Structure 1
Amino acid sequence: MREFGFELALCAHLEDPETLVARQLGGGVAAPGNRILDVVTVTPGPEFDARTEITPARIPALAVESDVGPGRFRYWKDAFDCHPDRARDVVDRAVDVGFFERERRGNRDYVRQVARYPDWFGRIRAIENKPDLGSPGALRRQLRTDVSLALADEVVLATESHVTRAHLNRIPDEVGVWRFDPPDGVEVVQPPTPLPVDAGGIELVEEHPGRAEIRPVTAAEKSQYRRRLAERAYGKGWRPDEFPACRRATVERGGVPRCDWHGRVVDPGNECGPDCPEYAPDDGPTVDAAAERADRSPWVDDPDGVARRQAGLDWFSYSGH
């Protein structure tokens, strides 16, 4: 199976009422874009229900980390330690998704959180997909980076290949190994070792012939970026942004795009369209990705929203006088 299809099939297999699944997320601290995690799973924490009530979208990291709180309104410029243009964008986005509410006083905007940001996530798992271990590429370096940084609670390698002792000897001992076959599910070849997420870590920033640039990462930085990673996973999910607009397209269980001509899962953005010899323009399958995700995972598609609920209570109190 091609890596894209393998990844989507694995995401569909892992998603359940107790597991959020997302894919293609930055997995670094000093250089988040240097390490892209194929799949991330997040289990709900003690205040997960409070998080679902706020918004189905990702809450901007700088909004959570700002000095805006759920108490009194604050002048927005005083609450951010970044360029005002960046702060304005964050405020606008936080208001749009329902995490901030805004009040106009004269010619100034004041903001506050609609609710305290909750302690909503539990364990984070990072999964590296490598269907064919015969073509490992940079696999060893990627997994060593994940283990030494320890941003996720555990790291797993998922493959379709038969796993030998030689394969296991080439990866860090802490990495779990799954053999995944879509019809049959996951076979645990080697369980992962829990990583020290509460301690500092070491991040590989750049690698050159004969030398590597690394950066120590503190426990506080890791805590901040774990929250950012979990928040991105909550907002993004794993389903593709588009589905094939072709008569040959179908949808597998969970919302996975499949092509009957190819006989496999396809990547709509790269494989479907006029360049395909069997492309047959059509509306394609009807897929409600949000409904699929809400039905199969703990994510909530259309919460009442704390801001809307508070507005309703304010109206009720006012109308009762």
Structure 2
Amino acid sequence: MRPSDVYPEGAEFGFELLVCRWAEAAWPPDGGSDGDAVIVARQLGTKRRRWDTIVVECDPAGLAARARFGDRELDSDLLHVVRHAPAEWAWYRDALPHPGYPWRYVRAAVHRAAGRGVVEKRRRNNRIEIRRVAPYPDWVRRIVAVENKPDLDASAARALSDQLARDVDTALADEVWVATAATGGRVEPALLEDVPVEVGILAFAFDADAPGDAWADATVEWHPSDVTPADAESDEERTTTRLELAERAYGAGWRSYHDTMRPDCRHFELRRYGRALVPHCAAKGGPQTAAECAGSCPDFEPEPPVWRTGGWPVEGGPGKGIQSLLRDRREWVRGREYPETGADADPGEN
């Protein structure tokens, strides 16, 4: 299978999925490691900025402790409750810092948190008291943002330049990269484009037929600068925003593309590319983007009901199987990063 079979010219979706799979298995690019665990997600960001790929470098012990709060993300309201929940029973208004918005919303978050088992709750003297189930750990070490541009020509670089400059200035991520497709030239064209000097450049060459980890070759063409601010530890707003971003990455992962695509379509398939599984449309005879693969697609056909009974669980057909496979793979990755809490056997390379 050629790279163009996964990300045709001008399309970034397939390239992005391959970059995510490589990062999950081989981060950091220079091969060095401080023993960090890694969580990879895609299409995450803030109201003002969304990145193609997010790599969260985690403290392994902290990541294992984070598992105590379940597999789903903790949104901003739940984080406010969980991070400040006291070790002993206390009225929630005494225990939690003022949120800057009405307490009734905090009370609703307390009920949600208790319902998910991430805090304990009781009513005493007509007041709602809370107690933590465990301290919320300091599990995030660094956040790395990656922009994926397989064809980083001059026009693409110009369009990205201002965004990348703002990424460097705001420094929400500790490090910023651009990932592009290698051309094989003596000097990669990306080095000659208008990319901020603080931003690293990764050139990727993918070969579906190469054995093992050789399917993806990532070359560092330019090393990034660490843009973490000097006052990062005392900047509570930055810390909170980064935790919210890391929580979303923890809950979603990069395989969550099936949430916005239609694996229940009879034409939806997963095909192996190297050590990755990527979506493929049998009707189009090639790859599709997440935007194309929707109920509005003229080729969309629901799975025939008979598919859901012929050897498949009654509650779903192949589409449910695809969703289950991708979810199981995400769980296996978590188990690999902190094996004392999860499975240690690979259910199938992806």
Equivalent position SS for 1:34:
coil
Instruction: Compute the displacement of 1:229 (Å).
Output: 2.1
Partner of 2:38: 19
Where is the strand percentage greater, Structure 1 or Structure 2? 1
Give the match for residue 180 of structure 1: 204
State the partner residue of 1:196: 227
Residue number in structure 1 paired with 2:123: 104
Quote the residue 2:159 is aligned against. Answer: 138
* Aligned counterparts, 1:1-321, within 5 A: 1=7, 2-16=11-25, 18-26=37-45, 32-45=46-59, 46-66=61-81, 68-78=84-94, 79=96, 80-81=98-99, 82-134=101-153, 135-136=155-156, 138-160=159-181, 162=183, 164-165=188-189, 167-183=191-207, 184-200=215-231, 219-239=235-255, 240=257, 241=259, 242-253=261-272, 256-268=278-290, 270-273=292-295, 275-277=297-299, 279-282=300-303, 283-285=317-319, 286-287=321-322, 288=324, 289-297=326-334, 298=336
Residues 152-204 of structure 1 deviation map (CA, whole Å, 9 limit, x = unaligned): 22111012263745654401112111223443424324243242324259xxx
Greater shift, 72-81 or 152-161, is seen at 72-81
CA contact (8 A) 2:122 2:129 kept: yes
Q: Which runs of 5+ in 2 are unaligned?
A: 1-6, 27-36, 208-214, 304-316, 343-350
Q: Cα–Cα, structure 1 residues 87 and 179, in superposed 2: closer, same or farther, change >3 Å?
A: same
Deviates more, 1:167-176 or 1:116-125: 167-176
Q: Distance in 1 between matches of 2:123 and 2:143?
A: 39
Quick one: higher RCO (CA 8 Å, sep 6+), 1 or 2? 1
Native 8 Å contact 1:21 1:237 kept in 2: yes
- Classify the secondary structure of the residue corresponding to 2:142: strand
Structure 2 distance, partners of 1:266, 1:165, is 27
Which structure has greater helix proportion?
A: 2
Q: 1:97 to 1:159 in 2, by over 3 A?
A: farther
Residue identity matched to 1:228? E
RMSD: 3.1
**Contact 1:57 1:97 (C-alpha < 8 Å) held by counterparts:** no
How far the C-alpha of 1:259 sits from its partner, in A, is: 1.4
Q: Which runs of 5+ in 1 are unaligned?
A: 27-31, 202-216, 305-321
TM-score computed with the length of structure 1 as normaliser: 0.75
Larger deviation: 136-145 or 240-249?
240-249
Distance 1:225 1:168 in 2: 34
The 3 A distance-change label for structure 1 pair 290 and 166 is: closer
How far residue 118 of structure 1 moved from its aligned partner, in angstroms, is 0.6
Paired letter, 2:87: G
Alignment CA distance shift 1:250-1:272 (3 Å) = same
Q: Matches of 1:60 and 1:249 in 2, distance apart?
A: 31
Contact 1:293/1:299, CA 8 A, preserved across alignment? no
- Tell me the matched-pair count: 282
- Report the 3-state secondary structure (helix = DSSP H, G, I; strand = E; otherwise coil) of the residue aligned with 1:16: helix
Secondary structure of residue in 1 paired with 2:135: coil
